[in-house]
Structure formats: structure tokens, C-alpha cells
């Protein structure tokens, strides 16, 4: 793609052309020279959208909740985009189609854009090009942009670094405070949603989470700091979703009022540039860990004549 | 550490000296020159242990099951080691102490060794030095070595690449086949355990998993291929744990009989060397993504005068 055609594509996407948006998303997802041209054309100028990360364990009902959230946001006239990050199947190499959101969204509504992305083994379960996809959707006038990721542990950290507001979805009976801490959830959540709250144990889950978020060590102790909200929803019936919309707005206002919005945006950019550095280096690792040279080194390690540390150093040395 | 003191440490660890084992594990976990010396001294000579990965979502009862499994294995005289990989807390940088296994193990039993490792943000939720820790414990005569990891998605892939046998722990009502596929579990599990099987929905979970593992696309279609086993346990009461021991033995025998044991060991080594290459490159990314140069680049991207792709390239170019 030439720089001129990239600029043209960005202009059309900014005008709401869905074909152009789709093409631009594919270009940034694919990476390489096309992505370079597209990113140069996109720049990183405002408007910035409110980026909301939605995460939690598989089966927690994130997709249903995201679909219900899109409906609630649409009823107030907001244009909403969703990036649904699918973990990649290790054998087939393709994304598992877990996208249940689109099914819930009114077909042909120009105010909604849903995109699936494969995480392709990127650290943290977030697709490497997610920040660039957010840029495209921001530029196309969608605000908020919801980013749904499956997973526990590293995923939450990755999504929270890429988002302004992080929503962690759990279920009744999901686990006690130790489990939440173990999964790395407590320190990244701005909003906790206990979904499937019509099931037994919802009150207990809320109580446990409230007691944990109340601990000062887990929040910013400064005055005007944000204490994570704990909400309940029954996403399948749309119950509690308006409360979630209100919490997201409240957190956004909090970020703007305290000046943290700018800081989080900068954090997003730091993460984005770092992600691109890692991607470039991972490509180098891929190149080094294949072919006869790699096979020979593996055989030597298997035979006990070479240790893995020296093996890795040797693989990286030639073209250093 | 000198090469000679490393050799001495390895010799003492091989003799069962727990202090030497602990020190050696710390050395390989820390990386750098000490790890190099230790790995050179360890080599990669047999005996190879049976490495069993145990994974699943938080709250599934992995730690309790692992503890019960250690007990069952010990009663048959086996010397067992456990590596429990804890996700790292993103704020504190330290490992969350989720180690419930040691509590269940008879204190002072020299035939059991339990070690916690922090994953420190490594891709896939597996600590980077896990394969090296396995080498240490193999050398110290533990067999099997159990590796417990929390997580979904990438974690299972990482642990299955590092293990001979992968056990995926789920719960009744945990999710349908789509969710299992979404979490990337189906293609890596050699054994499925439906833990907490005294809860409602256990039969249904077994039926769903059985129907999915029965699909030929998910297994190796070759004759003599392994069809993943689906078991039920109530780990808190020790129910079904003997069945798990039997399934692990059956899988190990299958690997040896079909010649896959050698292939999986080679796969482990490939993953290990690749992990060390990635670690070396990640250190480079860390070095590049800090300091005034990085801050300046981030500011330029935030101001819209530089796109992130070009920014990353610029950061990597100087010392290329």
C-alpha cells in the first residue's frame, strides 16, 4: 500500500465508510509495510475515545455482557465499537469464532462496529495490534471502544495497560479473595461486575470483593483516588447494565477531573510502542529458532553436549 | 558462581541435598552468569523425569488436586517434585503466595519437593526458567515432576509444550464445548479432570468433554493415538485421585511405547532454547524501552508527530 492510498483509506474510514474501516483494521493487524503506511497516515491525533477493557475467566458471560452494554450505550446515542480478542487455537493457527456479540447487535446499525482479532500467542492474550485497531476505530468516530479479552492472569494486566477503564467480570462462587489475588485481578480492575447475579452466592461474592477493594494497599491512597466499584448484573436479561454504563461514565469523569486521563493515554502509548518493539524482536526469535541451524543446536542439547543457555547465545550471536 | 562451585552444587543436589536443590533452583531462576554455569554443570543427560503439567482456570481446585496427587504418588514410593507457578502481581512485582500444596504434604518428607516460581509476566503464564527448574529436579531424582500453572488460553499451550503429559482441570458447569475451545484447552489436554464432581452438572461436563475429545480432528488420527481421558475427582476428599495416577501412568506408557516420549522431550528442548532466545531479546526490549530516549519517543507519538511503528523501528535501529 502506498502512503497516498493509506491516507485515502484513513480519510474514508474517518468518514464512517465501513469497508474502509474493515480494510484498515486488516492492514494494521497484518503488520509490515502496509501497517507502517496506515499508522503514519493515522498519526495519533485526537479525538481520543474512552477505551474500556472487559476481561475475566472463560464462561463468565463477558460476550453477553458486552452485547448488552452495546445496546445500553446505543440507546443513549453513543457510537460504540467492540474489539473481541479470541485466543488462538495452537493447532489450527486460526481464531476460534467465539464472537457472540454481533448476534445481539441490531444488524445494519451504522453506530456499532464489532471486530474479532486473534491474539496469535501474544503475551497477555491481547492481540499485538489491538492498540492500532483502537486508533482506527477512534479515528472512525467510535467512542467508547470496548476491548473484550478472555483469560486470567497476564491478560488483565495487558488489557488494563491498553485501556482507560478496566472491567473485570466474575461470577458468584467464582472464588475467594485469594483466588482473585492469584489471578492478578484486584490491582487492575476499575469496575468489578458479578455477572449471573441471579445464581446463589452473588451477595457473598460482592461482599468478598468489597472487602478486598476496601484495602488501601490495593488502591491509590491519594485523595480523590478511585475505589473500584463492585456491581451485579444478569447480562442475559439486561439487568444491572445501566448501572455499568453509569460506572463507566463515572470512571471516565474521574479520569478527566484528576488529570489521569492524559497519564493513562500516555501509558497506552508506552505500551503500544513497547509492543511494537517486542513484535520486531519476536520476529527475530522466529527467524533464529527455525531451520537446520536450530535443529542442530536442539540435537546437541538433547545429546547433552550443549547447555540451553549457551545454545541460545550462540543462535543470537552470528548477526549481532 | 564459578563453574567449579556450580558442578559441586549439582553434585550435592543430585545426592538429594535439599539446601543444594533450593540454591540451584534460585540460581537458574535468577538467570545470568550463575544460571549459565549451573546449566553447563547440569547438562541435559538422563534420567528424564515424567513432566506432568496441571492447568486450568483459577478456583478449579488445581492446588488441592495437586496436593492429593502428591499423596497418592508418595504412597506408591515415588519421589515427587512440584513446581507451582504463580502469576505475578503487576503492582508489587512479587509472587502471590497461592501455594496450598505444601500445606497438604507431610512436613519433612524427603521424597517430596515443592517450589513456587513467579511467572513475572512471561508469555503464557509459565515462568521462563521452568524448564531449567525441571532439569534441576530431574537431576535430584524426582520423578514425576508436576508443574502447576494458573490460567487459560496461552498458559495451557506453554505448559503443554514444557510437559510430557498435560492435565486440564475443569469444574461442573465450567462451560460448554465452545468455551473449552475458546480457552484453547481441547488441543493440549491429555487428561481432563472434572474436579468438584460432587457438584451438580458433573455428568453433563463429562458428557460434553467426551463428545468433544471424540472428534477425530482434535486428536492424532494415526493408529495407536491417544484419546484424551476424561476423569472425575473430588480432590478435597481424595476421591478419583487414584484414577488420575493410573491415567498419568497409562499416558506415560503410551508415550514410551509409541516413541513419542523422545519427540516430546525434543519438543521440550526446542521450547526451552526458544524461551532463552526470547528472554535474551526481551532483555533488549527492556533496555530499549526505558530512559530519556524512550520518553522522548513516547512524547512525540503522543503529540502526533511520530507514529508508533516508526518509533519502534527507531528505538531498535541504533545498535542493530
What is the three-state SS of B77-131?
Answer: CCCEEEEEEECECCCCCCECCCCCHHHHCCCCCCCEEEEEEECCCCHHHCCCCHH
- Interchain CB contact of A283 with B (< 8 Å): no
List all residues of chain A from 119 to 158 with a beta carbon under 8 Å from chain B: 119, 121-125, 131-132, 150-155, 157
List all residues of chain A from 195 to 224 with a beta carbon under 8 Å from chain B: none
Cα–Cα distance, B134 to B162 (Å, whole number): 9
> B187 and A59 in contact by Cβ < 8 A?
no
Give every strand in the sheet of B145-150, ordered side by side.
Answer: B112-118, B80-86, B145-150, B51-56, B165-170, B191-194, B229-232
| The architecture CATH gives domain A45-258 | 3-Layer(aba) Sandwich (3.40)
Q: CA nearest B257: which of B299, B293, B221, B223?
A: B223
Q: Where are the domains of chain B?
A: 1-43, 46-257
Q: How many CB atoms lie within 10 A of CB A183?
A: 29
> Which residue in the block uniquely carries the three cell numbers 505500551?
A271
- What is the fold of B46-257? Rossmann fold (3.40.50)
The most distant pair of C-alpha atoms in chain A lies apart, rounded to whole Å, by: 67
ipTM of the complex: 0.74
- Interchain CB contact of B88 with A (< 8 Å): yes
Give every strand in the sheet of A191-194, ordered side by side.
Answer: A112-118, A80-86, A145-149, A51-56, A165-170, A191-194, A229-232
Q: What is the pLDDT tens value at each position of chain B, 320 positions in all? A: 777 889 999 999 999 999 999 999 999 888 878 888 898 888 766 678 999 999 887 778 888 999 999 999 999 889 999 998 876 544 333 334 344 556 666 667 889 999 888 765 554 455 678 888 999 999 999 999 999 887 555 556 677 788 999 999 988 875 545 455 555 667 788 999 999 999 998 998 898 888 877 765 444 455 568 989 999 999 999 999 999 999 999 999 999 999 999 888 888 889 888 888 887 888 888 889 999 999 999 998 888 888 888 888 889 886 43
Cα–Cα distance, A53 to B185 (Å, whole number): 23
List all residues of chain A from 38 to 67 with a beta carbon under 8 Å from chain B: 39-40, 42-45, 57-59
CB nearest to B175's CB, from A59, A278, A301: A59
Q: Do residues A267 and A131 make contact, with C-beta atoms less than 8 angstroms apart?
A: no
Residue of B nearest to A185 (CA): B89
Q: Which DSSP symbol is given to A131?
A: H
CB nearest to A57's CB, from B43, B57, B132: B57
Residue of B nearest to A118 (CA): B182
Cα–Cα distance, A133 to A159 (Å, whole number): 13
**CA A248, chain centre distance (Å):** 16
Instruction: Please list the residues that pair with B114 across neighbouring strands.
Output: B82
Amino acid at each position: 500500500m502506498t502512503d497516498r492510498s493509506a491516507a485515502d483509506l484513513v480519510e474514508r474510514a474517518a468518514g464512517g465508510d465501513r469497508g474502509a474501516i474493515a480494510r484498515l483494521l486488516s492492514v494494521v493487524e497484518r503488520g509490515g509495510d502496509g501497517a507502517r503506511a496506515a499508522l503514519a497516515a493515522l498519526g495519533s491525533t485526537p479525538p481520543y475515545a474512552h477505551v474500556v477493557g472487559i476481561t475475566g475467566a472463560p464462561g463468565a458471560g463477558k460476550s453477553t455482557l458486552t452485547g448488552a452494554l452495546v445496546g445500553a450505550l446505543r440507546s443513549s446515542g453513543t457510537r460504540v465499537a467492540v474489539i473481541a480478542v479470541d485466543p488462538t487455537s495452537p493447532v489450527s493457527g486460526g481464531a476460534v469464532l467465539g464472537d457472540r456479540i454481533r448476534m445481539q447487535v441490531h444488524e445494519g446499525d451504522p453506530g456499532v462496529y464489532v471486530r474479532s482479532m486473534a491474539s496469535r500467542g501474544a503475551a497477555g492474550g491481547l492481540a499485538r495490534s489491538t492498540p492500532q485497531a483502537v486508533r482506527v476505530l477512534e479515528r472512525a468516530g467510535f467512542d467508547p471502544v470496548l476491548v473484550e479479552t478472555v483469560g486470567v492472569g497476564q491478560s488483565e494486566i495487558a488489557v488494563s495497560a491498553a485501556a482507560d477503564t478496566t472491567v473485570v467480570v466474575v461470577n458468584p462462587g467464582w472464588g475467594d479473595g485469594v483466588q482473585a489475588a492469584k489471578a492478578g485481578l484486584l490491582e487492575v480492575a476499575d469496575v468489578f461486575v458479578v455477572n449471573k447475579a441471579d445464581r446463589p452466592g452473588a451477595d457473598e461474592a460482592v461482599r468478598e470483593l468489597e472487602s478486598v477493594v476496601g484495602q488501601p494497599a490495593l488502591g491509590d491512597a491519594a485523595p480523590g483516588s478511585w475505589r473500584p466499584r463492585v456491581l451485579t448484573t444478569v447480562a442475559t436479561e439486561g439487568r444491572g447494565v445501566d448501572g455499568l454504563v453509569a460506572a463507566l461514565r463515572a470512571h471516565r469523569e474521574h479520569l478527566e477531573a484528576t488529570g489521569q486521563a492524559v497519564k493513562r493515554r500516555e501509558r497506552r502509548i508506552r505500551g503500544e510502542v513497547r509492543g511494537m518493539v517486542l513484535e520486531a524482536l519476536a520476529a527475530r526469535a522466529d527467524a533464529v529458532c527455525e531451520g537446520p541451524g536450530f535443529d542442530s543446536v536442539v540435537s546437541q542439547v538433547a545429546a547433552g553436549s550443549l547447555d540451553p543457555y549457551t545454545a541460545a547465545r550462540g543462535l543470537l550471536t552470528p548477526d549481532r
